[in-house]
Amino acid sequence: MSVLKLSAFFYAIFLLVWLAFVAILYSFIESLGVFDAAEDLGRALVLYEEVNITLGVVEKWALLLGILFGILFTLLNTLLAVLYNVGSDLLGGIELTFVERDS
């Protein structure tokens, strides 16, 4: 249970960092005019009539992907912790004993 809680906490923090990174990357790419060029190309090739690539749309998809991967990896970490504990119970492990030397 502690691995589940700790993983969820770390992935929640990572989600916030991820959203900030996406916003910074979006503003950089927007300043280069890449989205406008992609929209113009789509209109010229008649692939679509109207698509607005905005920060809100990009952040929405980044949030959905971040939540999905956060849940997936939290469950994966928990499963790996359970498998490790079962394996160490069945197979044992290394036992270390520390002895203090007399000087």
Query: If the chain, 103 residues long, is cut into consecutive pieces of 10 residues, what is the mean pLDDT of each piece?
Result: 95 97 95 86 74 87 97 96 89 80 79
Residues 42 and 48: beta-carbon distance below 8 Å:
yes
Ramachandran area for residue 33 (φ above 0: left; ψ -120 to 50: alpha; else beta): left
What is the residue extent of each domain of the chain?
Answer: 2-91
Q: What was the pLDDT predicted at 39?
A: 80
Asked whether the beta carbons of 77 and 3 are under 8 A apart, the reply is yes
* pTM, entire model: 0.73
Q: What pLDDT score does 48 carry?
A: 66
CB 24 within 8 A of CB 62: no
DSSP 45: T
Q: Please tell me the distance from the alpha carbon of residue 3 to that of residue 79, in angstroms, as a whole number.
A: 9
